[in-house]
Structure 1
Amino acid sequence: MVRRPLGNHLHGADTLLVTSETAQTPPLPTPSESLRALVAAARFVLFDFDGPVCRLFAGHRAEQVAAEQVRWLEERGLRGLLTAEELTEPDPQSVLRAVAARHPKSDLVAELEERLTQQELKAVATAWPTPYADPLIRTWRATGVPLAITTNNSAKAARGYLEGRGLAECFSPHFYGRTEDLRLLKPDPHCLRRALNALGAEPSAALMIGDTPTDLRAAERAGVSFLGYARNEDSEGRLREAGAEHLVSTLQPLLELVRGRRSS
């Protein structure tokens, strides 16, 4: 087992555990006071999907999906819509954004978005659950805290994955994902505000858990507290550079705090 400290932001003794949930249980990290405060203040919790809940493209790789999008455009003589850098972009969301920026609300964008949705639905079958996410979701909901999904992925894909894990009822009906207007993707706070309005939640009473700077920016613009999930050094670096104050490298200490909250 390899254990690596992730710095001294929120987590203090939190560590990145290169192991599985089924492996021998290591000593529990000690949650910091700031993490305790975030959990104690959270009356509503908004989860990003791909990252804090699962790795959607673990088996159906995002790079392959992006390449398929580019091929589809090339077959229609639309290669010129993308820059040289965008033609090799490994993130299918970025390819979609690039086309949408040049042809907003067009039939082309609608069809490309639907193709991405179908690829995300296909990826659900081979997605990897984020360690400790399943019990964290169940336990948090059992404390009476309403949960919502706020994602740039398709809400259909998020719901499909969570139904397969027996977790959809923990969120239902609060799945807020990509809309036809791609200008409203995070960092725009649109999906967070939809969730807050539907939940009847004041922003100051909500916590978002995300893993990208766009999640952080959306939370800031919505007035919602933010906890960054940094599963590796690259993710940690991006979140730190964006100014994230609170980071964890594993959901384990968060789960322990929520379990303690439920017991009390």
Structure 2
Amino acid sequence: MRDTDATRAALDELLGRVDAVLFDFDGPVCDLFAGLSTAGVADRIKRIARRHWGALDPEVANCDDSHGILRPLREMYERRTPRPRTARPLRKAEAIVAGRERRAVRSAAAAPGITELVRALRLRGLRLAVASNNAEQPVRAFLRRQGILDAFTAVCGRDPGDARRMKPCPDSVHRALAALDRSPGCCLLVGDQLTDLRAARAAGTPFLGFTADEARRTRMLREGADAVIGSHAVFLAAVEALEPRRGQPDSRSQKESNHARVCATKTVPCACGSSLVT
């Protein structure tokens, strides 16, 4: 997908009305699994679930994605049965997926231009956070290795206790907004999946799609994305054209904010239909 003058104009308009950027992780920040299938991870989770629960719901049995299986597995656990199910498959599934992520970040390639983009955004006074369906610690490990962890006020990853809070549920977005102390309209969410877009819409934040897939780009725009880019090059150019903003925190206060990060507690509506405490 080729970024156009219209894309750059949309970015200029977006950057003129936000003062913080939320990044999804796998895609906009790095290529976590390098295009490799995670069906083997999903199969391992299914074997454990069958051992404890017996026959699986079709949504679980037919899922061949390590992250995609987590939500239907939780929903199966929540469904009433004559004999209550043990939560052991849920705990094992989270541990297995998080372990796969920890191994993957050791060799994951950074998205081209992401470190330059992050530094340019911070240089101009925009605040940053991660809102991801990945586990928090692997995300932090990757950002630390790239030398940009201190640029982020918060890393809000998947809730290990309830996969229903994964995007498209806006839980991680709400937690990032709370950590940044920003209203939704002041923050731009950058993501590469339709679930990211739907979480942004549920939270009320503008959305910048990141994908080179033309069909996905079309769907994102149809579903309300403010703009879609195929690489960070045009985003970086738009950021570099910005004037530095007042109130930019110095590196010391930024580090203190990272060490003291606590996603503020509040009750918010979730896209999955429940009320979440974040």
For 1:156-195, list aligned pairs within 5 A: 156-172=137-153, 174-179=154-159, 180-195=161-176
SS at the partner of 1:149?
strand
Q: Which ranges in structure 1 are unaligned for 5 or more consecutive residues?
A: 6-10, 14-29
Instruction: Confirm whether residue 143 of structure 1 aligns to residue 118 of structure 2.
Output: no
Q: Answer yes or no: is the 8 Å Cα contact 2:48–2:89 preserved in 1.
A: no
- 1:148·1:176 contact (CA, 8 Å) conserved in 2? yes
Question: How far apart are 1:72 and its partner, in Å?
Answer: 3.9
Q: Deviations over 1:183-226 (max 9, x none)?
A: 21111111111111111101111111011111111111111111
2:38 maps to what in 1? 62
State TM-score, norm by structure 1: 0.81
Q: Which residue of 1 aligns with 2:56?
A: 81
Contact 2:206–2:226 (Cα < 8 Å) also in 1: no
- The TM-score, its normalising length taken from structure 2, stands at 0.77
1:79-106 CA-to-partner distances (Å, cap 9, x unmatched) read: 62242x6435332111111111111493
Instruction: Kindly state the Cα deviation for residue 31 of structure 1 after the two structures are TM-superposed.
Output: 5.2
Per-residue CA deviation, residues 48-102 of structure 1 (Å, 9 max, x unaligned), is 111111111117643333233334445x26562242x643533211111111111
Deviates further, 102-111 or 128-137: 102-111
* Alpha-carbon displacement from aligned partner over 1:217-254 (angstroms, at most 9, x marks no partner): 11111111111111323532442453434111111011
Q: Which residue of the partner structure matches residue 122 of structure 1?
A: 103
The one of 86, 97, 100 equivalent to 2:71 is 97
Question: CA distance change for structure 1 residues 142 and 191 in 2, over 3 Å: closer, same or farther?
Answer: same
Deviating 4+ runs (over 6 angstroms): none
CA distance in 1: counterparts of 2:14 and 2:176, whole angstroms: 19
Contact 2:21 2:189 in 1 (8 A): yes
Contact (CA 8 Å) 1:31, 1:254: kept in 2 or not? no
Amino acid at match of 1:12: T
Which position in structure 1 is the counterpart of 2:201?
A: 220
CA distance in 2, matches of 1:86, 1:102: 8
In the superposition, relative to structure 1, how do residues 63 and 31 fare at CA in structure 2: closer, same or farther (>3 Å)? same
Q: Return the letter of the residue paired with 1:169.
A: D
Aligned residues: 237
Segment drifting more, 234-243 vs 177-186? 234-243
Equivalent position SS for 1:90: coil
Deviation at 1:259, TM superposition (A): 1.6
Preserved CA contact (<8 Å) 1:142 1:262: no
Alignment match, 2:214: 233
For 1:35 and 1:241, the matched residues in 2 are separated by 17
Provide the C-alpha distance between the structure 1 equivalents of 2:218 and 2:107, rounded to a whole number of angstroms.
27
| Counterpart position of 2:13 | 37
Pick closer, same or farther for the CA change 1:238–1:109 going to 2, 3 Å: farther
**Long gaps (5+) in structure 2:** 79-85, 246-278
CA gap of 1:241–1:33, structure 2 versus 1, over 3 A, is closer
CA contact (8 A) 1:121 1:157 kept: yes
Residues 236/78 of structure 1: CA separation in 2 closer, same or farther (3 Å cut): farther
SS at match of 1:227: strand
Q: Is the 8 A contact 1:59 1:127 kept in 2?
A: no
Paired position in structure 2 for 1:17: none
Q: Which amino acid aligns with 1:80?
A: A
Report the residue type matching 2:105 in the other structure. Answer: V
